[in-house]
Amino acid sequence: MRKITAIIRREKLEDVKDALELMGIHGMTVSDVKGRGQQMGIRESYRGMDYCVDLLPKVQLEIVVDSEDLERTVEAISENARTGDVGDGKIFVTDVIDVVRIRTGEHGGDAI
């Protein structure tokens, strides 16, 4: 089992969710985050003073999948989150030791 952590543009969330749903992947955790990579900040201006805000709002998706679904899931996220501009985000893949469905107590792949 693998965990996918994807940090994407806020406005791309719907596209990514729709694409994953088409693939049969429903489970995910979404959080509001802020961060930066290579994207320069945005400018905010109040009463004549300019500020550069360089931690930009993004959305973080966390999804756990079976290893055989990993490649196509990453592909789906990557393609649907892409605009081609700096700031599209990143995907991190990590190993998962166990998954438990709390309602039933199932372990492992069945619990995904």
Partner 1 sequence: MLNSGDTAWMLISTALVILMTVPGVAMFYSGLTKRENVLNTIFLSFVSLGIVSLLWFLFGYGLIFGGDVSGIIGSHQVGISLINLGSASKYAPTIPEGLFAIFQMTFAAITVALISGAVVERIKFSSWILFIPLWFALVYVPVAHWVWGGGFLQNLGVHDFAGGIVVHLTSGIAALALALVTGPRYDQKLMPHHLGYSVIGTGLLWFGWFGFNAGSALSAGSLAVNAMIVTNTSAAAGMIGWILMDRLKTGKPTLLGALSGAVAGLASITPAAGFVDIGASIVTGLVAAVICYLAVSWLKPAAGYDDALDVFGIHGVSGIIGTLGVGLFAVPALNPSLTSGGLLTGSTSLLVSQLIGVVTVTVYTFVVTYLLAMLLMKFKGLRVEREEEIQGLDINLHEETGYRLT
Q: Which residues bind partner 1 (CB under 8 A)?
A: 11, 32-34, 42-46, 50, 55, 57
d(CA 74, CA 36): 21
Shorter beta-carbon distance to partner 1: residue 24 or 48: 48
Nearest distance from residue 74's CB to partner 1, in Å?
Answer: 24
Decide: helix, strand or coil at residue 36.
coil
Nearest distance from residue 112's CB to partner 1, in Å?
Answer: 29
Shorter beta-carbon distance to partner 1: residue 40 or 55: 55
d(CA 5, CA 64): 9
Q: At what angle do helices 70-81 and 13-22 cross, to 10 degrees?
A: 150
User: Which tokens sit at 50?
Assistant: 């300019």
Nearest distance from residue 46's CB to partner 1, in Å?
Answer: 7
Shorter beta-carbon distance to partner 1: residue 19 or 99: 19
Residue at token pair 């994407």: 8
Nearest distance from residue 41's CB to partner 1, in Å?
Answer: 11
